Structure 1
Amino acid sequence: MSSHPSVLLLRAGLQFPVGRIHRLLKSRVAANGRVAATAAVYSAAILGYFTTEVLELASNASKDLKELDILIKGTIARGGVIPHIHKSLIIKTSKKD
């Protein structure tokens, strides 16, 4: 046996919490509260896909709008924007023979 507990989102390779989604799905089902375990995995995968698509569309839209671009840069770390590093901050290496 492994030393750490098995977490469904790690086993499925997802970003959203599969266990929490499964618990919430079970609490909202009217008949018997029965939900298959794969339903939570699929739901987490769909949420991850939709989130990625929305963030990608938002970053594409922000590339044209400077004001929105500044907001996205400050809100989402590494949100698809290439960082600008001033030339004076870059370490210069000299070739020694």
Structure 2
Amino acid sequence: PAVRPAVSGRWKQGGEALAKAKSSSSRASLQFPVGRIHRLLRKGKYAERVGAGAPVYLAAVLEYLTVQILELAGNTSRDNKKTRVIPHHLQLAICKDEELNKLLGGVTIAQGGGVLPNIQAVLLPKKIKSHHHKVQGKQFPSHESQ
């Protein structure tokens, strides 16, 4: 049993045991730290007061966005036959998704974000529309157009 002071100020033995502490993240069944976000909201002076629900809501939104980005980046890395997600996979995943691209359009991904695979149409070689005849494995342009 826990030892705690009585109302009169004297110490007494017994009484109910104190409940085991449970984090606000586990109460909200979140992985992101609700307590830390609450502290940062208070220290950041974004408002005079911070309600109890604000850090829970913000942690849930941040966790949702993180899960979405990592899921898309994991799919991109699997498409590229890689087992590890690298910054380039994050960049590709964000740019392929319309809403994430709008949200994170101005964000620079450091450490090898790379460039998107894109070749301008003018730079591609011209396609020849003439008919070719195959003679013994070689291709010759037809003389019909002359």
TM-score (norm 2): 0.43
Counterpart position of 1:27 = 43
Alignment: residue pair count: 69
Q: Write the distance in 2 (CA, Å) between the matches of 1:2 and 1:53.
A: 39
If the length of structure 1 is used for normalisation, what is the TM-score?
Answer: 0.63
Q: Does residue 20 of structure 2 align to residue 4 of structure 1?
A: yes
Q: Which structure has the larger Rg over C-alpha atoms?
A: 2
Gaps of 5+ in 2: 1-16, 86-146
Q: Relative to structure 1, is the Cα distance of residues 14 and 43 closer, same or farther in structure 2, using a 3 angstrom cutoff?
A: same
Q: Which runs of 4+ in 1 moved over 3 A?
A: none
Which residue does 2:136 correspond to in 1?
Answer: none
How far apart in 2 are the matches of 1:64 and 1:5?
A: 44
Report the CA distance between 1:2 and its aligned residue.
5.8
Relative to its length, the structure with more strand (as a share) is 2
In structure 1, stretches of 5+ residues that fail to align are 73-97
Query: Superposed, which structure 2 residues align to 1:33-52 within 5 Å?
Result: 34-52=49-67
Identify the residue that residue 83 of structure 2 maps to in structure 1: 70
Higher relative contact order (CA 8 A, sep 6+): 1
Greater helix content: 1
**Corresponding residue of 1:55:** 70
What is the identity percentage for the equivalent residue pairs of Structure 1 and Structure 2?
Answer: 49
